[in-house]
């Protein structure tokens, strides 16, 4: 029960923090033009590409997400990550089935909804509007990856420069794919990326718990 309450609290805090800038930006600049949910992309997704494009995307995303990039990490960084309390998935180690509900809350709300609102809903759409769809998608991917690098540095994660490079490349690629899914395959709704982001993180956490 304690883990569930902790996950709910963390999810609410994340959601508030990540939504603060988008809400304020919308309130002071766009509230008279459009509702917040539509502006940020929280509306029903509609496929605007051919169905086979979605199939190709699914295959690419599956192979990208299932690729074990830990085999590229240096041994010292990998050992540190496997034992660090700062790695969210490690918090659920040894909990078994009791980890499912708190992990669902954390992965879908704290990660999926909160991060997608800020990066794919706010940043990606603003950048696409200013620089064009493809440059905007690429730029938000770069910023999303840099956020993870900076976070690791701020909390003092003892990982190598090579790990930072790998994390940047793989995180940027994941963000690029999520942005592409929303803006090029669907109708700008961020719900597809919320579902995919949350599910991907949840599966990774469950693999850490039961693997």
Structural domain count, the chain: 1
Q: Residue-wise pLDDT tens for the chain (211 aa)?
A: 667 788 888 889 999 999 999 999 999 999 999 999 999 999 999 999 998 999 999 999 888 888 888 889 989 998 888 887 667 667 777 778 888 888 899 899 988 999 999 999 999 999 999 999 999 999 999 999 999 999 999 988 889 999 999 999 999 999 999 999 999 999 999 999 999 999 988 888 888 778 6
Give yes or no for a contact between 74 and 160, defined as CB atoms under 8 angstroms apart: yes
Domain range for 21 is 2-210
């Amino acid at each position: 029960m304690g883990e569930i309450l902790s996950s709910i609290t963390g999810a609410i805090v994340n959601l508030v923090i990540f939504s603060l800038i988008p809400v304020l930006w919308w309130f002071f600049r766009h509230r008279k033009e459009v509702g917040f949910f539509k502006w940020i992309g929280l509306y029903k997704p509609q496929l605007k590409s051919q169905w086979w494009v979605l199939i190709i995307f699914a295959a690419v995303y599956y192979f990208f997400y299932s690729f074990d990039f830990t085999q590229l990490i240096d041994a010292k960084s990998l050992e540190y990550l496997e034992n660090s309390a700062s790695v969210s998935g490690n918090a659920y180690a040894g909990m078994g089935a009791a980890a499912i509900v708190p992990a669902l809350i954390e992965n879908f709300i704290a990660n999926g909804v909160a991060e997608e609102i800020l990066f794919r809903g706010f940043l990606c759409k603003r950048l696409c509007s200013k620089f064009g769809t493809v440059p905007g998608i690429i730029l938000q991917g770069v910023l999303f990856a840099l956020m993870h690098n900076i976070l690791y540095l701020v909390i003092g994660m003892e990982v190598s420069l090579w790990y930072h490079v790998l994390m940047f490349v793989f995180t940027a690629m994941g963000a690029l794919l999520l942005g592409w899914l929303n803006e090029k395959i669907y109708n700008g709704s961020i719900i597809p990326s919320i579902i995919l982001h949350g599910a991907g993180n949840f599966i990774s956490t469950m693999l850490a718990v039961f693997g």
